[in-house]
Amino acid sequence: MSRFLLLCMSLLSAFAVAGEPGVTEKSITIGQSISLEQGKNIYGEAAARGARLYFDSVNAEGGVHGRKIIVKLMDDDGKNATAAQNARQLIADGVFLLFGSIEGGPSTAVAEVATELKVPFFGPMAGSPTLRRPHLAYVFPVRAEHREEFRALMAWGKATGMTNVGFFRSDTAVGKAHLENVRLIANELGMKVALDVPFKSDVSDAQLDDMVRMIGLAKLDMVINHGSSGIYQRLIVKARSAGLKTVFMGVNSGSTQIVEKLGPTAHGMVFSQVVPNPRSGKHPITREFVDAARKAGMSEPLSFGNMEGYVTAKALVAVLRANGPALTREGLIRTMDSFSADLGGLSVRWKSNDHEGSRYVDLSMVGKDGRFVD
């Protein structure tokens, strides 16, 4: 390489260090507003731990182009307004980009701030359609959206002889958008959405009892949920107490929490997952993850939440490496707008008008021991 090119590269790198928020010669600071709820959100805690596991392993090897990744983390407590406030504060504090929120509402709130202030928001761990449609130039999901999870669950139901579907969903605009997707998928599969069951966050036990009666009268083969895992748990307990044989299914978010809270009642439930089962060892990335967790001394059972955080962090590092050492926000967006990679059996891709990320969806059933079985 000529001295002239080396000089140009050095000048570009120096410019990025001097002029770009969150970027120094030795570090990249990213901001993460995530729903930890002071330790009560099991999935959020697991996802944050999984992301930190990958970032720590990269930093231990010298970082990305000589820069270590620093994560400034804030708890949004599962509240949209707090998530938006956190995003603004993190940007004001000078982070390079926003990263890895969970839950549809808080993630959408962060996306709105990122779009307004023209700051990249990478890897929202939520399946809301609002993160993809209409197209958001500054938002780059990694995981598949809920629409693909609904499709996988309903296709499994169809293959096992189910036809009547119920949709238990939050009574919000996003919940209605999910309902339309479920109806479209049902029509494609020759199934019927026989019952729409919207709920508010303050739903009472009496209202849940009425919903259970409606499910019984509709003779539903299966129920899919979108929304609060806690409310879904209450519904399932009441349905089982009433003797309903309906198969209850769920998307990945909240799956671990639902299974832990329900105990033996969760046996036989089917969940969609947007990352491979960390215990399966079927994919290179799961073996890599388990090895990294073992080396780091992670003692808790490895979960889908840990895995999703790890995968999302790995995707970000892959993009940062592809970008090169001259790091700017707009330059990173240009890199992502024509980027694809295999992360180890899980592929991601973004185009300038389509920030799809991954389409990976798998199904897992809850076994008698309370573990997820592929």
> Which tens digit of pLDDT belongs to each residue from 73-107?
999 999 999 999 999 999 999 999 999 999 999 99
Residue with tokens 């809850």: 366
Among candidate residues 230, 251, 272, the one where a domain is terminated: 251
- Shared domain check, 57 and 180: no
pLDDT for the residue numbered 148: 96
- Shared domain check, 312 and 242: no
User: Which residues touch 288 (CB under 8 Å, ≥6 apart)?
Assistant: 344
Residue type, 290: V
Domain assignment of residue 152, yes or no = yes
pLDDT for the residue numbered 55: 98
- Shared domain check, 122 and 58: yes
- Shared domain check, 209 and 82: no
pLDDT for the residue numbered 109: 97
- Shared domain check, 183 and 293: no
Among candidate residues 234, 251, 268, the one where a domain is terminated: 251
Mean pLDDT to the nearest integer, 289-311: 91
- Number of C-alpha atoms within 13 angstroms, CB side, residue 236? 25
- Shared domain check, 289 and 239: no
> Which tens digit of pLDDT belongs to each residue from 192-228?
999 999 999 999 999 999 999 999 999 999 999 987 8
Domain assignment of residue 259, yes or no = no
Q: What percent of the chain has pLDDT over 90?
A: 84
Q: How many helices (H) and strands (E) does the chain have?
A: 12, 15
Burial of 47 (0-12, 13-18, 19+ CB in 10 A): buried
Mean pLDDT to the nearest integer, 288-301: 89
Q: What is the b/e burial string over 265-277, where b = at least 16 CB atoms within 10 angstroms of the residue's CB?
A: bbeebbbbbbbbb
- Does the pLDDT at position 279 exceed 80? yes
192-199 vs 164-170, strand pairing mode: parallel
Domain assignment of residue 196, yes or no = yes
CA separation for the pair 179, 170 (Å, rounded): 10
Q: What is the b/e burial string over 190-214, where b = at least 16 CB atoms within 10 angstroms of the residue's CB?
A: ebebbbbbbbeeebeeeebeebbee
Domain assignment of residue 182, yes or no = yes
Structural domain count, the chain: 2
- Does the pLDDT at position 66 exceed 90? yes
Prior bond of 134 cis (ω within 30°): yes
What is the three-class DSSP state of 215?
Answer: helix
CA separation for the pair 339, 322 (Å, rounded): 9
- Shared domain check, 61 and 29: yes
- Does the pLDDT at position 267 exceed 70? yes
pLDDT for the residue numbered 4: 52
- Shared domain check, 293 and 168: no
- Does the pLDDT at position 318 exceed 90? yes
- Shared domain check, 198 and 347: no
pLDDT for the residue numbered 301: 75
Confidence bin at 16 (pLDDT 50/70/90): very low
Mean pLDDT to the nearest integer, 316-323: 98
- Shared domain check, 310 and 333: yes
Instruction: Find the CATH number of the domain harbouring 330.
Output: 3.40.50.2300
Mean pLDDT to the nearest integer, 158-169: 97
Yes or no: say if 136 and 355 are a contact pair by the CB < 8 Å rule: yes
pLDDT for the residue numbered 300: 67
Mean pLDDT to the nearest integer, 337-343: 97
Q: Which domain holds residue 54?
A: 3-143+281-360
Q: Which of 142, 137, 124 is nearest to 333 (CA)?
A: 137
Confidence bin at 302 (pLDDT 50/70/90): confident
Domain assignment of residue 304, yes or no = yes
- Shared domain check, 319 and 198: no
CA separation for the pair 348, 342 (Å, rounded): 7
- Does the pLDDT at position 140 exceed 90? yes
Q: Which two tokens stand for residue 46?
A: 């697991």
What is the three-class DSSP state of 360?
Answer: coil
pLDDT for the residue numbered 223: 98
50's enclosing H/E stretch is helix 42-60
- Does the pLDDT at position 171 exceed 60? yes
Q: Which two tokens stand for residue 130?
A: 């609002």
- Shared domain check, 321 and 287: yes
- Does the pLDDT at position 5 exceed 70? no
Q: Which of 67, 9, 18 is nearest to 316 (CA)?
A: 67
Domain assignment of residue 274, yes or no = no
Mean pLDDT to the nearest integer, 276-281: 88
Mean model confidence pLDDT for the chain: 93
pLDDT for the residue numbered 113: 98
Give the strands of the sheet with 68-75, arranged side by side: 68-75, 27-34, 98-99, 121-122, 139-140
User: Which residues touch 51 (CB under 8 Å, ≥6 apart)?
Assistant: 32, 71, 99, 100, 309, 310, 312, 313
- Does the pLDDT at position 51 exceed 90? yes
Mean pLDDT to the nearest integer, 319-331: 98
Domain assignment of residue 263, yes or no = no
Beta bridge mates, 98? 31, 121
Q: What percent of the chain has pLDDT over 70?
A: 95
